Every structure is written in structure tokens, then in C-alpha cells.
Amino acid sequence: LQLEEVKIPLFYGWFLMSPANEKVKCSAIDFVKTLDTLEAFKKHSADFTGKAEKEVDLEQHFKAKASLHCTTKFSNYGKAEGAKEYAQNLVVKDHFGSVSELSLIAFFVTPRTVGARVSLTKEQLQLWPVDAESSVPGATGLPHGSRAHVTLACAAGVEAVQTGLDLLDILALQKDGQQGELVEMELGSLSYYGEGRWMLALREPICASACFSSSYK
């Protein structure tokens, strides 16, 4: 095999292993179901439906992802900026195939996406592209690794890339000091940031074993 023949993948990331994949999916479904029953959420259901008084069935609204991962680098088979550099990075090569624990610290929901925020360790941050946040307008001041997330579900017609953008949007609001309405839940505290944006900061982070690898689709 010639080195030239080695193709750059669609994306790199941590792929949740079994049973963590199922555990996270179940927790997410539980959260979304509970959110749907809250008076605080129903009060703002027009954010999702566009109509006052009309309730939203979140389970119908979203299509859940089957196999979960936290994307590090979207390489687009080498077409994305910095794809080649990332593929050749020694830290990336050294960690390829390694298993580590992802710490999920929050769930968030917007009319477009459902995701889990991931808190990366120092070692995991070495695999995080330098421009993951700075390439997004409005997210420039946020710390390296802020965008780390697992896409759990998307609304019809919404691409997965939206989940990280929705997360950065909420984090930028938090940084501006917007606290939002607070609802205490068993899992943690839930905040509303307007325009259908909700975030549940988990009391206990969810730990998920994941393998650093890549996908060609």
C-alpha cells in the first residue's frame, strides 16, 4: 500500500462504546420526555411550534441518533481546512484507537438539536483542533474545547453540525451573564435562554467510555 493511497476520513472523534452508548441514549430520552411535561417548557412551546398554545411532542419533533460520538475534527475526506495537518499530527496518531472516559456535564435542547456537552480532560484537549471555536462567529472568546459535544438528535432537515453551533450559542449567552429562568430537576438545574434554548447542568456528570477513531461513512 502506497502512503498516497491512504485516505483522510470524513471525521475523527471519540465513539461511545457499548454499554455507554445505550446508557447515554436512555438518559437523553428520559430528559427529553421529562422536559416535555414541565409547565416551564409548555409555557414556551411556541418556540418549537411557532404557534401559541400549541404543544410540542419532542419525541416526534426529533430523530434520535443511533451511534453516538463526539467529533474532534471534521476532515471531509481531506477537503476541510487543516485536515491534512490533523491527520499527520503525532498526538492524533499516538491516540488513535485509544479508549478514554468522556464526561458529559449537561444536556441541551433547541428547536433544531439535542446534545450533551462534554468536558474534556487535558489529555483529550490535545486532540481538539485549535480553531474549533474561533472559526465560529460569536464564539471567539470561549475556552478551547467549549464546542465538545455529542449529538443526540436532530429535528427534520437539520444537519448534525448544528448541534455544536447551538451549544456555542448557549455558552455565549451564559458568558454574557444571561442566567435564564431556572427550574430545579432531579438530574440538575435547567435553564431557559429564550428562543427554545434549554440547558440542563447535570448534578452528576455521566461517564461514558469512548474510543478515539475515525469514520469514513
**Cis status of the peptide bond prior to 19, with omega within 30 of 0:** yes
If one counts every other C-beta atom within 10 angstroms of the C-beta of residue 160, the result is 16
Among 74, 107, 193, 212, binds ligand A2P (CB under 6 A): 74
Question: What does the chain come to in residues?
Answer: 217
Separation of alpha carbons 65 and 19, rounded Å: 15
Q: Which of residues 57 and 81 has its CB atom nearest to ligand A2P in the complex? A: 81
**Minimal distance, residue 157 CB to ligand A2P, in Å:** 12
If one counts every other C-beta atom within 10 angstroms of the C-beta of residue 33, the result is 11
Among 9, 164, 188, 205, binds ligand A2P (CB under 6 A): 164
Q: Which of residues 26 and 161 has its CB atom nearest to ligand A2P in the complex? A: 161
Q: Do 86 and 92 touch, CB atoms closer than 8 A?
A: yes
Of the candidates 61, 69, 95, 144, the residue annotated as catalytic is 69
**Minimal distance, residue 213 CB to ligand A2P, in Å:** 13
- DSSP one-letter code for 157: T
Residue 5 C-alpha from the chain's centroid: 32
Separation of alpha carbons 142 and 30, rounded Å: 30
**Minimal distance, residue 40 CB to ligand A2P, in Å:** 27
Residue 212 C-alpha from the chain's centroid: 16
Helix (H) or strand (E) holding 28: helix 20-37
Please tell me whether residue 169 adopts helix, strand or coil conformation.
Answer: helix
Among 8, 9, 11, 152, binds ligand A2P (CB under 6 A): 11
Q: Which of residues 41 and 62 has its CB atom nearest to ligand A2P in the complex? A: 62
Active site annotation includes 144? no
- Cell numbers standing for residue 121: 480532560
Active site annotation includes 69? yes
| Interaction mask 124-163, ligand A2P, x per CB under 6 A | ---------------------------x-------xxx-x
**Minimal distance, residue 68 CB to ligand A2P, in Å:** 9
Of the candidates 44, 61, 144, 149, the residue annotated as catalytic is 149
Tell me how many residues contact ligand A2P (CB under 6 A).
10
Give the residues lining the site for ligand A2P (CB under 6 A).
Answer: 10-11, 71, 74, 151, 159-161, 163-164
Q: Among all residues, which ones are annotated catalytic? A: 69, 149
